[in-house]
Amino acid sequence: MTEEKSIFSKIIDKEIPTDIVYEDEKCIVINDIHPKARVHLLIIPKKPIPSLFELMPEDKDCMGHMMLLLPQLAQTHGLDGFKTQINTGESGGQEVFHIHIHLLGN
């Protein structure tokens, strides 16, 4: 039995069209379809890591890359401050089990 791809994996594989804000070899950035702020971006690694619980030592480069990308994205979108959020597990509010960072700012 194969696991079904997450919506984020389908977006990364260009199976679902979306407006891509930024993309490189490690991650993709899209606008959240249900924004909670004027700027609400999702920074998604191309590697399908289900949640922070499944993070492995070899993922630190990708996660560090995404963290360093956050202030650049904020500045590009005219923000002088922002909030980040990573929901982990169902009880932590995670809805898509492909790790992602929310960047929110007004």
Q: Which residues are catalytic?
A: 100
d(CA 72, CA 3): 34
d(CA 3, CA 76): 36
Q: With left for phi above 0 and alpha for psi between -120 and 50, is residue 75 left, alpha or beta?
A: alpha
Number of other residues whose CB lies within 10 A of the CB of residue 39:
19
Which residues, 6+ apart, have CB-to-CB distance to 24 below 8 Å? none
